């Protein structure tokens, strides 16, 4: 309790200090980045004017390069992500040569990308200079994303300066007095300013990014005496920029942030068939994606947890940008765990398989006679809490509804004797839990030997374990989750597949 109270007191003191002294904004001249920004803005304007997606791949690569110039300002020899984006810009520009009319634009974008690749970011130079001047022992750096944090950590390792995400500011040591936030204020939550972790806060951004206003709380407009922090701008270096290439104001932050392109649901309003499922498309690092069904949970990894506690499960609803999923390459984990559980049960397995097949066959017949929505209504009337998942229950390796009582009520609704089906299902579930726990231990061991810094930097890695059927496991960070579901074959769910649309997301 004392530590919590002390943290609250510290935050109030920091807020009062920031309110008195304001927040510094270092607008650092970056001629190479300014040239790239001008070229990308012209590219966006041209693509919008043409109403064609022919520019799409080049635009996404160029936008990613611009984003990384802002948020990952470490030198080029420590910035593989920026180098890869610059190469991709030049590659995509070459592919468009002859296919579009504006060759001059292609040349300008390509040259701007090369300039950025060859020129270290002045923002990075100013960040390191400021830390060394202030004393690294009292400084911390706030990064915009996991990849940005990993790159900055590697670069600043010799200074022993902590690099954190905005949500981790509460864990900073009391010795930290100065925060350096890498990127424009608008890219960060308002709490960085309105509930600061330190009494000194400074943002560092390239001068060509024009939006420099500080973020405010959503409640500030309705609150009397709301906290209004003043910004003190400091211009550093050569801030000359190319003449604005397109009409209108500078775009908002949404244009800068690499985002997925969702093209809308194609499945229509029909209900899924017996072997189909509603699933969200989830884009992953490593140019991968999965179809995520509405199951209860999925295996995840948290590289920030201590050894032995990194591999766990997350609710499907909680899978969001930044989550690390642990997936079986080429197949779902569920089927392999089911088979492992049956092997563990020996001679009892045959009888259990018979009863499992019997109730699933009966449910399949009901779904064929009635619509799924009608079955859901009837089951809910019977008190089945998870009735909405009725279509998923016919999948062979899904043992039973999540709630034990739901299985009892379902069997009664189907007109089947509760025993021995209920008892067999619970025995099979316990065997699956044990097989899952064994796999978790092997995964924890593999993770303890893996390069987790590389995982945070790249967002993707493979785990090699000895267990049959699991020798190729994939860990991949979630980049984005579709806002709508599609109907897909159930056997396709949770199986990673290649998808280039995730290439430039963070």
- Sequential DSSP letters for 269-338: TPPP-TTEEEEEEEEETTTEEEEE-S-SEEEEE-TTSPTTSSEEEEEGGG--TTPEEEEETTS-HHHHHH
Q: Are 266 and 303 in contact (CB under 8 A)?
A: no
**Residues 35, 208: Cα–Cα separation, whole Å:** 9
In this structure, the dihedral spanned by the alpha carbons of residues 399, 404, 409 and 410, taken in order and rounded to 10 degrees, is -10
Class of residue 452 by CB neighbours under 10 A (exposed 0-12, middle 13-18, buried 19+): middle
**Residues 194, 12: Cα–Cα separation, whole Å:** 10
Per-residue confidence (pLDDT) for residue 16, from 0 to 100: 80
**Residues 237, 103: Cα–Cα separation, whole Å:** 32
Per-residue confidence (pLDDT) for residue 250, from 0 to 100: 59
Token couple for 333: 């984990």
Per-residue confidence (pLDDT) for residue 15, from 0 to 100: 80
Per-residue confidence (pLDDT) for residue 247, from 0 to 100: 64
**Residues 323, 105: Cα–Cα separation, whole Å:** 38
* Below-50 pLDDT ranges, the chain: 1-2
Per-residue confidence (pLDDT) for residue 222, from 0 to 100: 54
Q: Which helix (H) or strand (E) holds 63?
A: helix 56-71
Per-residue confidence (pLDDT) for residue 382, from 0 to 100: 94
**Residues 330, 409: Cα–Cα separation, whole Å:** 36
Token couple for 412: 């009664």
Per-residue confidence (pLDDT) for residue 252, from 0 to 100: 55
> Do the strands 460-463 and 473-489 form a parallel or antiparallel pair, or are they unpaired?
antiparallel
Q: What angle do CA 199, 200, 205 make, to 5 degrees?
A: 145
Q: Are 422 and 408 in contact (CB under 8 A)?
A: yes
């Amino acid at each position: 309790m004392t530590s919590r109270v002390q943290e609250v007191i510290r935050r109030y003191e920091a807020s009062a200090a920031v309110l008195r002294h304001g927040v510094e904004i270092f607008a650092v001249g970056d001629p190479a980045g300014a040239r790239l920004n001008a070229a990308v803005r012209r590219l966006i304007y041209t693509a919008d004017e043409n109403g064609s997606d022919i520019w799409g791949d080049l635009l996404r690569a160029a936008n990613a390069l611009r984003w990384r110039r802002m948020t990952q300002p470490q030198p080029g020899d420590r910035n593989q992500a920026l180098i890869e984006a610059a190469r991709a810009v030049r590659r995509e520009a070459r592919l468009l040569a002859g296919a579009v009319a504006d060759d001059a634009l292609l040349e300008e974008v390509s040259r701007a990308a090369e300039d950025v690749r060859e020129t270290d970011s002045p923002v990075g130079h100013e960040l390191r200079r400021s830390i060394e001047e202030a004393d690294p022992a009292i400084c911390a750096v706030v990064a915009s994303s996991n990849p940005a944090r990993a790159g900055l950590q590697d670069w600043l390792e010799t200074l022993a300066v902590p690099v954190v995400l905005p949500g981790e500011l509460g864990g900073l040591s009391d010795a930290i007095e100065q925060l350096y936030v890498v990127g424009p204020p608008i890219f960060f939550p308002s709490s960085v300013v309105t509930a600061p972790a330190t009494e000194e806060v400074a943002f560092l951004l390239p001068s060509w990014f024009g939006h420099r206003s500080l973020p405010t709380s959503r409640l500030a407009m309705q609150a009397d005496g709301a906290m209004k922090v003043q910004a003190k701008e400091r211009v550093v270096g050569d801030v000359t920029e190319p003449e604005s290439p397109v009409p209108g104001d500078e775009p908002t932050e949404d244009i800068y942030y690499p985002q997925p392109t969702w093209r809308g649901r194609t499945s229509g309003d029909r209900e899924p068939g017996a072997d189909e499922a509603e699933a969200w498309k989830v884009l992953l690092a490593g140019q991968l994606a999965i179809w995520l069904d509405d199951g209860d949970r999925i295996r995840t990894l948290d590289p920030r947890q201590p050894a032995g506690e990194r591999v766990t499960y997350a609710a499907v609803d909680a899978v969001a940008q930044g989550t690390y999923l642990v997936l079986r390459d080429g197949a779902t984990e569920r089927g392999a765990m089911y088979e492992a559980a049956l092997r563990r049960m020996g001679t009892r397995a045959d009888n259990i398989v018979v009863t499992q097949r019997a109730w699933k066959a009966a449910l399949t017949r009901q779904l064929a006679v009635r619509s799924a929505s009608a079955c859901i209504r009837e089951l809910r009337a019977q008190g089945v809490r998870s009735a909405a998942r009725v279509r998923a229950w016919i999948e062979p390796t899904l043992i039973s509804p999540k709630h034990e009582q739901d299985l009892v009520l379902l069997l009664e609704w189907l007109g089947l004797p509760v025993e021995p089906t209920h008892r067999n299902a619970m025995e099979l579930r316990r065997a699956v839990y044990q097989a899952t726990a064994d796999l978790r231990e092997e995964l924890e061991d593999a993770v303890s030997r893996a390069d987790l810094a590389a995982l945070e930097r790249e967002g993707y890695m493979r785990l090699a374990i000895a267990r049959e059927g699991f020798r190729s496991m994939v860990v991949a960070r979630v980049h984005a989750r579709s806002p709508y579901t599609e109907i897909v074959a159930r056997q396709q769910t949770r199986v990673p597949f290649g998808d280039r649309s995730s290439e430039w997301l963070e």
